[in-house]
Amino acid sequence: MTKYIIIGNSTAAIGAIEGIRSLDTTSPITLFSSENHHTYSRPLISYLLENKTTLEKMKYRDDNFYELNNVTVVYEKIVKINSDKKQVYTEANKEFSYDKLLVATGSRPFVPPTKGLDSVKKYFTFMSLDDALDLEKVANSTSKVLIIGAGLIGLKCAECLQNKVNKITVIDLADRILSSILDKDASEFMQKHLEKNGINFILSQAVTSFNGNVAQIGDKNVEFDILVMAVGVRAQTELIRDIGGTVNRGIYVDTKMQTSIADIYSAGDCTEIYDISCDKVRPLPLLPNAYIGGNCAGINMAGGEMVFDNAIPMNSIGLFGLHIITAGSYIGDIKEIQVPNGYKKLFYQDNYLKGYIVVGEIERAGIYTSLIRNKTPLDSIDFDLIAVNPTLIAFEKKVRKTKLGGKV
């Protein structure tokens, strides 16, 4: 009998539960959720506001998931861990003991301290379901919205509000939108598309100060009714940092998802892991990585053996019908392919594909992702052919036979 405790109720936590239960169907699992909701898919909050999904359909697992998997859910926040005593404590100071612990606390929105921010009556972040529901209550057809941050979160927020409000302005200190995942050319392409859909941008600038419902940006004053802070996120690493675990930009975990503290594992957006596309340890906050990491942690917690050793950043984002898929790191030589109504760049170095950006024609991009993840030597395939169109015919005959000729 092993006592499992999971702190967190999102993707990594669910992955861990499924990992544990694949090996251990009897030991008790207790899950602590700081949000008072059934596990839900966080990225769906913008779709909710667009009525493309419902509260019911947003659930990441069915209602009976916890029951079927014999998980006790406690809707309380954990504030402290004692790794010597192997206990965790809630806000009300209730204690619970564990044999194996998973920290899957995710991240929280980062609000940069700006002069005059306290004079703003209310600002919103766009991270949790509650954030989205709050925003929905106030947005109306006269609202002027100012979004700080032209990243994934900020733009998804802009997209879902676009036909509900009067005007949307997005501001970012970077010289281009989606600066963390796109290069200049792809950014420009996307920006034009968003501007055609009614989004206004102010780039290479920051808000110098707020005054009530006016933001001072350089020598311009921008009025707003709704202010959304979508500058970025910070991994919630306090629980581990406070007890001396290795923490940098996220909780450090090895390929078995173990933290530097015995019997404590971590997975998801709160961690930093080894990125094989650039050979560095860094946060890779994407849902697939959270699930796979959580699953891997769960299996190891239950006494199994699994590693997650091919993590890379990946993104799939659609904005106003234009899809972008990116993966890996943009280092090395560049192969740019001309595509109609789109954009495609492949990055390669030392005979490996390191990363790619595809805008528009996203079909079969997963074949590129597998080249990065599997570290496929580019001289073993017809790279010129696959660059134009991701196909399996670019692989040698005997490789094709392994991929397609039998059970995988």
Partner 1 sequence: MKRVYVNEEWCLGCHLCEYYCTFANSNMTNMAELRNMIIRPNIRVEENNKISFAVSCRHCTDPLCVKSCLTNALSKKDGVISIDKDKCIGCFTCIVSCPYGAISVSANDIAQKCELCTNNSNTSPLCVQKCPNGAIVYEER
- List residues near partner 1 by CB under 8 A: 15, 41, 43-44, 47, 52-53, 57-62, 287-288, 291-292, 295, 314-318, 321, 323, 325, 327, 362-367, 369-370, 373-374, 385, 390-393, 397, 400, 403-408
Q: What is the rounded CA–CA span in Å between residue 323 and residue 361? A: 8
In angstroms, give the least distance from the CB of 383 to partner 1: 14
CB nearer to partner 1: give 60 or 224: 60
**Amino acid at position 161, single letter:** L
Helices 11-23 & 287-301, crossing angle to 10 degrees? 30
Contact between 341 and 348 under an 8 Å Cβ cutoff? The reply is no
CB nearer to partner 1: give 248 or 374: 374
In angstroms, give the least distance from the CB of 213 to partner 1: 33
Cα dihedral 215, 219, 220, 225, rounded to 10, equals 10
CB nearer to partner 1: give 292 or 378: 292
What region does 31 belong to: left with phi over 0, alpha with psi -120 to 50, or beta? Answer: beta
Of 38, 12, 29, the residue nearest 70 (C-alpha): 29
Q: Please give the biggest Cα pair distance in the chain.
A: 67
CB nearer to partner 1: give 23 or 217: 23
CB nearer to partner 1: give 94 or 400: 400
In angstroms, give the least distance from the CB of 168 to partner 1: 21
Contact between 373 and 388 under an 8 Å Cβ cutoff? The reply is no
CB nearer to partner 1: give 114 or 295: 295
Q: What is the rounded CA–CA span in Å between residue 160 and residue 158? A: 6
CB nearer to partner 1: give 81 or 387: 387
**Amino acid at position 181, single letter:** I
Which tokens hold the place of 277? 């596309």
In angstroms, give the least distance from the CB of 129 to partner 1: 14
Which tokens hold the place of 158? 């802009």
In angstroms, give the least distance from the CB of 384 to partner 1: 11
In angstroms, give the least distance from the CB of 207 to partner 1: 30
Burial of 192 from C-beta contacts in 10 A (0-12 / 13-18 / 19+):
exposed
In angstroms, give the least distance from the CB of 103 to partner 1: 20
